[in-house]
Amino acid sequence: MSKPVYLTAEALDRLKAELQTARTTGRAEIAEAIAEARAQGDLSENAEYDAAKEAQGHLEARIAKLESTIASARVVDESEVDTSRARILSKVQVRNKKANREMTYTLVSAEEADLKSQKISVDSPIGKALLGKEVGETVKVKVPAGVVELEILDISR
């Protein structure tokens, strides 16, 4: 069995909707594209047919991934998040000691990660380093630009 994927109820609903669309509309569109390409004749030199079959493979892989994620999903109630330590769905305010810059990240599952919204995956280097830590602790994180030292200033929901 795969490891649990912790999601908000909103994220789980979004994944379920994406899965439903992929199973219905997505499969229908791919089937239509394959049928149109097949109608053009010789399949051995038909780039449209090859592209449609490749798109079908990508869609089926995405459907399988969504099904797996939904099957192993555990919904986390944001109101029950313990703020004594950094955990999934915690908002963690940190200060980069070298740059003296503050940032706030929400720790989420990989499926919900969105850096533009300051949502980082608990599987990312920074997310892993922050998990389980308390206010006042400092963590060193190896990132592509080198090692970053982050001081935890606050943890909230």
Please give the average per-residue pLDDT across 97-113, as a whole number. 90
Q: Where are the domains of the chain?
A: 5-75, 80-156
Q: What is the dihedral of CA 6, 8, 12, 15, to 10 degrees?
A: -90
- State the DSSP H helix or E strand holding residue 100, giving kind and residue range, or none if neither: none
Residue 1 pLDDT > 80? no
For all residues of the chain together, what is the average pLDDT?
89
Q: Which fold has domain 80-156?
A: Chitinase A; domain 3 (3.10.50)
Q: Which pLDDT tens digit goes with each residue over 76-97?
A: 877 777 778 898 889 999 999 9
Strand partners, 141: 148
Residue 48 pLDDT > 90? no
Which architecture characterizes domain 5-75 according to CATH?
A: Orthogonal Bundle (1.10)
The least confident of 48-57, 72-81, 115-124, 135-144 is 72-81
CA 49, CA 34: separation in Å to the nearest integer?
6
